[in-house]
Structure 1
Amino acid sequence: MASATRELPASAYALEVDGRTKAEFATRDGAMAGGEELKKRFPMLQIKIYDAQTSTREEIQIP
């Protein structure tokens, strides 16, 4: 069974969960808020914010 792969956005921010793109956000703050909420609910997941403008990823850490 083949699954659809989501491409990384050309602009804005994306939320990556365990290496897979799950959602896109217009702002970094929106992506961070969504990622932090998800990380609090499921701390075992690896969640990163992808910044399309700089092509970098930032892992979300919850203290």
Structure 2
Amino acid sequence: MHIDIDKSVCIGAGQCALAAPGVFTQDDDGYSTVLPGREDGAGDPMVREAARACPVSAISVT
């Protein structure tokens, strides 16, 4: 699994961090980011749900 966050689209809603806090967080500017070492999703079953929860579809999971 590979996670991409389009920073030019992200609005910092934080829904991804709420859905999968073990994989996503928000940076100092309030935008979503993947926690270091979790770029592969770390086996978290909520990663795809976190991507679906993004109100602007900034997250892609492949």
TM-score with structure 1 length normalisation? 0.31
Larger strand share, 1 or 2: 1
TM-score with structure 2 length normalisation? 0.31
Q: Which has the higher contact order (CA 8 A, sep 6+)?
A: 2
